[in-house]
Structure 1
Amino acid sequence: MRNYSYIFILLCIVLFSCRKDFDFESSTGNLGFSKDTVYLDTVFTNIGSSTYTLKVYNKSNRNISIPKLELEKGNNSKYRLMVDGIPGNVFENVEMLAKDSMYIFIEVTADAIDANPADFLYTDRILFGEGSQTQKVELVTLIQDAYFIYPQRTQNPDDTYTYESINLGVDINGDPIEIRGTVLDETDPINGNELHMTNNKPYVIYGYAVVPSNKTLIVDAGARVHFHAESGLIMANNASMQVNGTLSTTEDLENEVIFEGDRLEPDFSEVSGQWGTIWFTQGSTNINLKNLTIKNATVGLLVSGNDGTASPTITMNNVQIYNSSNVGLLARTGHIDATNVVINNSGQTSLACTFGGNYNFTHCTIANYWGTPNQNSLLIDDYDGNPTYALTQANFNNCLIYGTTNYSISLKKEGIDANFNYQFNNCLIKFNDFSNQFGSHPEYQFSGSKYANCLIATNSSTNKPDFKNGNKNQLMIGNDSAAKGMADFNFSTGTNDILGASRTNPSDIGAYNFIIFN
């Protein structure tokens, strides 16, 4: 029996050694590629890119061996390759079967000083083959220099690290609550004055950056601030913030201030929940936000209380908040005065005025096109009804409040009527009570005095806002909008819309004047 086994093995060796489909010929430069140039999207200096792919095709009827596959800059290249699951910069005798293909995975980590100083592009090539039959695929990446703000770390004896942290008080058990972060410094040895963010180059924040008490964070027009995962800004007690964006003249939003995540690839441009929040803690004061866009946070703005003065703690003009995985603007006992604010695409609620407070919203568009059945656009409550959480006022003048679900507003009153004061003037509100479950609810009597001259969208075809594209945060209203010409001009006099166009009489409900769509 053992002899038969030997004979079988010998026959297999002979047969397979004669099969030509396992012979590999040297490549003659006839490879095909999914692209002739791989553009790796913009990355920050010394921050690794996402992984990009190049597909290589053997279009011939022969098995081939690529004698050399390498980065032109070799081991000095800032690019990294993975071929057939093996990482490296230089590969030899890479085999491909006839009519087969393979993937090459590409990443890069480079410094701005590695890039061409004229255009900040860092380039290299992947070379396939040798000599006159060499084929090339270009690699191109834009490297952006930036100011990096991050917590310091200390190495422990066991080679672990202890990171700088921020104390947020104590929990119900008396234990300290700490998060990873750092305090912004006016004389940082690398970044200079971190409390004055300019438009010279972007800022990238890791962890939470704190504006300390009695200090003011100033953000210049055109500044870009990027947040890593689980990062954000915190205004301490008596800290202030002045965002000084101005109107832009091009689609590049060159004068707008933008807060967003640190993933710059197009695939991440509209992804929610990439970073934490901008947090105004109890006692922060004199907050002025102008021409600011906040994108892709967990909570766009978190407001914990007010400064206790008669003036608004937070003033907002021309502010846009998009793609918040939880809430766009979450205020608890806040004191906010807002004009031309646009909020959309929030996992729970776009605007939450909770725990009472004092609010004035004029010519705002509060929408929610998140696309699940449980979210709404506007939530107002007084928590448990305790007078401490009284809703002193919540005025909505010429506001457009709409979304994909039937009920765009939710009013939750636990205390007495005298402590729950709200008013909607000339607003367009979606409230499709198709089953009449709220017909006798006192807070939703739209013919009453609390809803003066309001338009109620009771179904999908009545009082439509005619947004350009709500799903894509394009909340300009068109010529067919029910909001056109229906605003109270007493609230519009002397104002411009969010794009800088003058409001004329009659004026339009919401943050935008109507336009004719192309």
Structure 2
Amino acid sequence: MFRKLLFPVVLLLSAGFSLFLPGCKPREEELQTSGALAFSADTVKFDTVFTNLRTVTKRLWVYNRNPRGVNVDLIGLDRPATSAYTLLINGDLKQTATNLFIRGEDSLLVLVRAKLPDNGQNGAPKDYVLEEKLNFRTNGQDQHVLLRSFGQNIYLHDDVPLACNAVWTNDRPHVLYNSVVVPVGCTLRIKPGTRVYAHAGAALIVRGTLLVNSPADYAPGTAATDTVKATNTDIVRFSGDRSGEAQYATAPGQWTGIVLHASSRGNIIRYAQIQNATVGVLLYNPDNLSPRPDVLLQNAVIRYISGYAVSFAGSKSTLDLGAGVLSVAGKATMENTLFSDCYEYAVLGIGGGEYALNYCTIANYPATTSVRSTASLTFTNVAADGKTKNAGLTLSLKNSIVWGSIRDELFLDNYDDYSAGVSIQNTMLATERYAATANAPGTPGLAQPSLNNLIGTYSYNYPSFKSISTGPSSDYRLKADSPGLDRATQKAAPLLLRDLLNLPRDANRPALGAYHTTK
């Protein structure tokens, strides 16, 4: 009987005591009045920041390594009202935060972005370093993390038509935002050594004329040692505005590219490098108007190109495909030009057009070779609508190398419609489709002896390039054992007296491709 009465009494006493005893918190939620914070880095760095443009977002983790919670009295910048830095503290956009509780052995996240003010747009160009402290006060202790940006002032071209007959110089970088337009009847002249960086989705649209390192602006020497190397300061460079970051240096599809409208005439691109785009150069003439938009590419390098299913900074490319040169019924002349690491096409001609390649090297080995399924050189007289056949397609391919990671690097769609306008001579070509010694319906026989082509049994490096790798360490000059050397009696006119590096080409024993030298 006693035991039966004991249990209700204990239950009542427990309930009564619970009214007077404090609740028990987990240890990590208990507040301690000593101890400091730890950080994932002592400095948050932003490298090569262009003035007036927002940077990428960097993360700073703030750790409470103590077993119990701490109250962070203050998180704030030195100059919160005028700072070039923007903070997102624990999900809240604010420059200063107070009384933030961090549980024991827990953390909070601070996101940091920068937008540096111009440091001399109207004066002499210069680089500079902008530093500011991000301050933390916890339990009477002050701690700091340094925010540091290495900035450079720029010429910003943001969704505007350019002044007629504009000239871009190399005193500071030019950055493209959105669409930058060269108006009809006007010229954009880009001087030696100019650097052009394009933001995600940006395009340089030329309705007039584009002159890049034109002969009037740049004439390299003619001595045997006057080499124009890849590091030459006179080369004009087009790239994505994040190409300075290792993960984006060789990434394609970061910007749209150079677009030559149907009204564009007389374009020249010399001693230039175009990379990281959806298309290197797009000639857009969907109505097959005459005269065609045209471009002369000389001593140029076009690389890291792709448009297929490309997404960058949250925006998908508006094109389904990418090419080093993509021509919709345009006219493209290419000399001493290297196309490399294009994920789809090196040159794609749609809806007819006029194409000439002489002493060019197509070395199409993108980093992800498994994605490639299209021939590097592809031509069709079918218009962009996929139905209409346009009259007229001419192709001259001479003294060149066309090789890559797939077996057929040339495709001539509806060849019989324009066969009279096709001439392929003295070229090293990866092809099984056109490897016969005689023509057949719809299929030229490019191994005919009179054409002097090298149609080798496919291997990954039949041309014997010096180095094939993913990225800028590739070297597409020929090794001493290459079958493309010493083409004395096979050469096809016209001979180009100097190669991609501006070195003399032996008129009696010229090598195939853009590079004459093996050294």
Alignment partner, residue 135 of structure 1: 143
Is 1:233 aligned to 2:213, yes or no? no
| Secondary structure in structure 2 of the residue aligned to 1:389 | coil
Contact 1:45-1:144 within 8 A present in 2 as well? yes
From 222, 235, 238, give the equivalent of 1:256: 235
Residues 452 and 134 of structure 1: is their aligned pair in 2 closer, same or farther, counting only changes over 3 Å? same
Is 1:345 aligned to 2:341, yes or no? yes
Alignment partner, residue 282 of structure 1: 262
Residues 185 and 434 of structure 1: is their aligned pair in 2 closer, same or farther, counting only changes over 3 Å? closer
From 493, 500, 503, give the equivalent of 1:501: 503
Alignment partner, residue 153 of structure 2: 145
Q: Distance in 2 between matches of 1:251 and 1:434?
A: 34
| Secondary structure in structure 1 of the residue aligned to 2:119 | helix
Is 1:406 aligned to 2:402, yes or no? no
Q: Distance in 1 between matches of 2:250 and 2:346?
A: 16
Which entry has the higher C-alpha Rg, 1 or 2? 2
- Matched AA of 1:377: S
Q: Distance in 2 between matches of 1:444 and 1:65?
A: 79
From 310, 318, 324, give the equivalent of 2:299: 318
Residues 376 and 24 of structure 1: is their aligned pair in 2 closer, same or farther, counting only changes over 3 Å? farther
| Secondary structure in structure 2 of the residue aligned to 1:501 | coil
Shift of 1:218: 0.9
Q: Distance in 2 between matches of 1:515 and 1:452?
A: 22
Identity over aligned residues, as a percent? 23
Alignment partner, residue 31 of structure 2: 24
Alignment partner, residue 175 of structure 1: none
| Secondary structure in structure 2 of the residue aligned to 1:48 | coil
Alignment partner, residue 310 of structure 2: none
Q: Deviations over 1:327-385 (max 9, x none)?
A: 22012343332212122333431211333333321221223334314222111223379
Q: Distance in 1 between matches of 2:15 and 2:398?
A: 89
Q: Distance in 1 between matches of 2:348 and 2:289?
A: 19
Alignment partner, residue 53 of structure 2: 47
Q: Distance in 2 between matches of 1:68 and 1:467?
A: 56
Contact 1:81-1:88 within 8 A present in 2 as well? yes
Q: Deviations over 1:141-171 (max 9, x none)?
A: 13332333344xxxxxxxxxxxxxxxxxxxx
> Quick check: 483-492 or 223-232, which moved more?
483-492
Residues 463 and 201 of structure 1: is their aligned pair in 2 closer, same or farther, counting only changes over 3 Å? closer
Shift of 1:14: 4.8
Alignment partner, residue 431 of structure 2: 431
> Quick check: 354-363 or 412-421, which moved more?
412-421
From 187, 205, 219, give the equivalent of 2:190: 219
Alignment partner, residue 112 of structure 1: 118
- Matched AA of 2:185: N
Residues 90 and 251 of structure 1: is their aligned pair in 2 closer, same or farther, counting only changes over 3 Å? farther
Q: Distance in 1 between matches of 2:435 and 2:454?
A: 21
Alignment partner, residue 273 of structure 1: 253
From 103, 106, 117, give the equivalent of 2:109: 103
Q: Deviations over 1:92-125 (max 9, x none)?
A: 3443344444432111122123999963222212
> Quick check: 378-387 or 20-29, which moved more?
378-387
Q: Distance in 2 between matches of 1:59 and 1:475?
A: 50
Shift of 1:49: 1.3
Shift of 1:52: 0.7
> Quick check: 362-371 or 377-386, which moved more?
377-386
Is 1:185 aligned to 2:163, yes or no? yes
Alignment partner, residue 316 of structure 2: none
Aligned positions of 1:355-434 closer than 5 A: 355-370=351-366, 371=369, 372-383=371-382, 389-392=391-394, 394-416=395-417, 418-425=419-426, 427-431=427-431
Q: Deviations over 1:119-142 (max 9, x none)?
A: 322221222336994332221213
Q: Distance in 2 between matches of 1:106 and 1:47?
A: 14
Alignment partner, residue 243 of structure 1: 212
Alignment partner, residue 189 of structure 1: none
Q: TM-score under structure 1 normalisation?
A: 0.76
> Quick check: 56-65 or 134-143, which moved more?
56-65
Is 1:510 aligned to 2:513, yes or no? yes
Alignment partner, residue 76 of structure 1: 82
- Matched AA of 1:337: T
Contact 1:70-1:127 within 8 A present in 2 as well? yes
> Quick check: 8-17 or 439-448, which moved more?
8-17
Contact 1:204-1:225 within 8 A present in 2 as well? yes
Residues 453 and 7 of structure 1: is their aligned pair in 2 closer, same or farther, counting only changes over 3 Å? same
Contact 1:122-1:143 within 8 A present in 2 as well? yes
From 252, 273, 278, give the equivalent of 1:293: 273
- Matched AA of 2:190: V
Q: Distance in 2 between matches of 1:279 and 1:13?
A: 78
Q: Distance in 1 between matches of 2:444 and 2:90?
A: 63
Q: Distance in 2 between matches of 1:9 and 1:492?
A: 105
Residues 361 and 375 of structure 1: is their aligned pair in 2 closer, same or farther, counting only changes over 3 Å? same
Residues 486 and 413 of structure 1: is their aligned pair in 2 closer, same or farther, counting only changes over 3 Å? farther
Alignment partner, residue 454 of structure 2: 454
Q: Which of 1 and 2 has higher RCO (CA within 8 Å, sep 6+)?
A: 2
Contact 2:434-2:443 within 8 A present in 1 as well? no
Aligned positions of 1:148-159 closer than 5 A: 148-151=156-159
Q: Distance in 2 between matches of 1:490 and 1:18?
A: 87
Q: Unpaired segments of 5 or more residues in structure 1?
A: 152-181, 187-192
Residues 95 and 331 of structure 1: is their aligned pair in 2 closer, same or farther, counting only changes over 3 Å? same
- Matched AA of 1:285: R
Aligned length: 471
| Secondary structure in structure 2 of the residue aligned to 1:297 | coil
Contact 2:477-2:517 within 8 A present in 1 as well? yes
Residues 249 and 383 of structure 1: is their aligned pair in 2 closer, same or farther, counting only changes over 3 Å? closer
- Matched AA of 1:109: K
- Matched AA of 2:328: R
Q: Distance in 2 between matches of 1:207 and 1:433?
A: 42
Q: Deviations over 1:189-221 (max 9, x none)?
A: xxxx6x212223333334433323332221111
Contact 1:466-1:480 within 8 A present in 2 as well? no
Q: Deviations over 1:427-474 (max 9, x none)?
A: 2222357999x9977535342157523142423364553533255583
Shift of 1:294: 1.8
Q: Deviations over 1:282-328 (max 9, x none)?
A: 34222111112222222221124599679x94221122222232122
Larger strand fraction of residues: 1
